[in-house]
């Protein structure tokens, strides 16, 4: 069975129990009998005011099966996606802090990341011209450099509600020279919750000069719930046979390493923490998982399975699909108790697993990696889908 077949078949079987013993199917049937099968609602409310006096809004989407998703126009943060367990209880499976003050104080989680997600080593050259970007003392630019997209307020293009989905489109205008990159970039990010229990993140961007682009959302997942503790016992499957190993500063060397026989092998469902304390040199560099996995693709840009994560205790299961060629798997190694969840608990290492769908790190400096160059007249397009089931 192919990953895409698995996804479609699981959709047909998504009959997990909901409140009062109702199934997804019975809830949907009741909605049909009651009238038009709207996907639910989308509404905007004030979330708070930044320390600089800017208003921040939260957008709440619901569907007919009881799922709810929430995003902020501050950093495009995904602060909640609620999904049911086998007992019908809902839990927010996205890691996010308790309020805007906490987000500003300690830095956003689960936020829009760019202009170039992940790492670039020692700047880039475009059409013969070199751009240094903003480098740390090791010559590395991380997630585009300052000022980060995750701390900017995006414009609201509009909300929408159709027969089977509801959502919001937000826009970021990134000027020429922003973060050291050439080209004025217009980025539209659309968040959609569907009646298929999908939460979609879709990106489109255009530029007025040749530039580089590699967008993602640095989403942290915990299928047991935000602030519930470690994900080490949760089972993860990655649809990948290779990783791109890095140097000591976590910049890819340009090589590809097969995962077979290594701590990076998640081709079969494996507890996230099963090999996280390995002495493999790559694991020591990242202090856990912080590596780009090369995804299996039937063709470039195909929307196909990248990962599956299951919480054995609740049965909540995430299937993550993407059009991107890679996914950075990060086991929240740097969490040190500085962030507080909505549950009032502190985030510690391994309390979440980030699955950052994206092009490979340092692609502009690795001719054998897929290109991230965007030219005027072209449109950058990328999609990532969270699909939820119960096992």
Residues whose CB is less than 8 angstroms from the CB of residue 89 and which lie 6 or more positions away in sequence, other chains included: 314
The CA-atom distances, in angstroms, between 321 and each of 23, 26, 222, 338, 355 are 24, 27, 17, 31, 11
Is residue 325 within 8 Å of residue 300, measured between CB atoms? yes
**Cα dihedral sign, 139-143-147-151:** negative
Distance from C-alpha of 49 to C-alpha of 298, rounded to nearest angstrom: 46
CA distance 48 to 43: 16
How far apart are alpha carbons 360 and 292 in whole angstroms? Answer: 7
3-state secondary structure of 179: helix
What secondary structure does DSSP assign to 326-357, as a single string?
A: EEEEE--TT-EEEEEBTTSPEEETTS-EEEEE
Active-site choice (57, 319, 356, 359): 356
Give CA separation, 271 vs 123, 231, 244, 263, 295, in Å. Answer: 37, 9, 22, 11, 20
Name the H helices within 226-310. Answer: 281-286
Name the CA dihedral angle for 274, 277, 282, 284, rounded to a multiple of 10 degrees.
160
Please report, for residues 124, 237, 288, 345, 369, the alpha-carbon distance to residue 360 in angstroms, rounded to integers and kept in the order given.
14, 19, 19, 33, 7
Residue 78 CA to residue 72 CA, distance in Å, equals: 7
Q: How open is the CA angle 338-344-349, to the nearest 5 degrees?
A: 40
Q: Which of 218, 291, 359, 387 is catalytic?
A: 218
Residue 356 annotated to the active site: yes
Using omega within 30 degrees of 0 as the cis cutoff, is the peptide bond preceding 147 cis?
yes
What residues pair up with 387 in beta bridges, in sequence order? 198, 319
Residues 83 and 91 sit within 8 Å (Cβ to Cβ)? yes
Question: Which active-site residues does the annotation give?
Answer: 218, 356
């Amino acid at each position: 069975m192919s990953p895409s077949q698995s996804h479609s078949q699981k959709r047909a079987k998504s009959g997990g129990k909901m409140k009062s013993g109702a199934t997804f199917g019975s809830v949907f049937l009741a909605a049909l009998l009651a009238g038009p099968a709207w996907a639910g609602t989308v509404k905007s409310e004030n979330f708070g005011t930044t320390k600089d006096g800017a208003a921040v809004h939260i957008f709440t989407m619901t569907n007919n099966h009881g799922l709810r998703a929430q995003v902020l126009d501050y950093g495009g943060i995904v602060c909640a996606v609620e999904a049911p367990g086998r007992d019908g209880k809902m839990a927010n499976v996205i890691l996010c802090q308790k309020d805007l003050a906490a987000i500003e104080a300690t830095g956003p989680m689960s936020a829009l990341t760019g202009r170039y997600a992940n790492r670039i080593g020692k700047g880039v050259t475009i059409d013969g011209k070199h751009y240094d970007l903003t480098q740390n003392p090791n010559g590395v630019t991380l997630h585009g450099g300052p000022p980060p997209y995750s701390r900017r307020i995006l414009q609201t293009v509009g909300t929408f509600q159709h027969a089977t989905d509801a959502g919001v489109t937000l826009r970021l205008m990134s000027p020429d020279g922003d973060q050291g990159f050439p080209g004025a970039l217009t980025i539209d990010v659309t968040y959609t919750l569907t009646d298929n229990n999908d939460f979609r993140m879709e990106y489109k961007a255009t530029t007025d000069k040749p530039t580089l682009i590699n967008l993602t959302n640095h989403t942290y997942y915990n299928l047991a719930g935000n602030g519930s503790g470690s994900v080490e016992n949760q089972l993860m499957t990655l649809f990948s046979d290779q990783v791109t190993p890095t140097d000591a500063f976590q910049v890819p060397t340009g090589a590809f390493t097969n995962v077979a026989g290594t701590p990076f092998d998640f081709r079969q469902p494996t507890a996230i923490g099963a090999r996280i304390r390995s002495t493999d040199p790559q694991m020591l560099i990242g202090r856990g998982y912080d590596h780009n996995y090369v995804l299996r693709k039937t063709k470039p840009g195909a929307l196909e399975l990248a990962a599956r994560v299951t919480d054995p205790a609740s049965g909540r299961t995430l299937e993550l699909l993407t059009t991107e060629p890679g996914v950075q798997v990060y086991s929240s190694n740097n969490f040190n108790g500085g962030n507080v969840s909505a549950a009032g608990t502190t985030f510690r290492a391994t309390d979440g697993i980030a699955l950052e769908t994206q092009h490979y790190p340092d692609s502009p400096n690795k001719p054998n990696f897929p290109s991230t160059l965007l030219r005027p007249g072209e449109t950058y397009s990328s999609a990532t889908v969270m699909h939820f089931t119960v096992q």
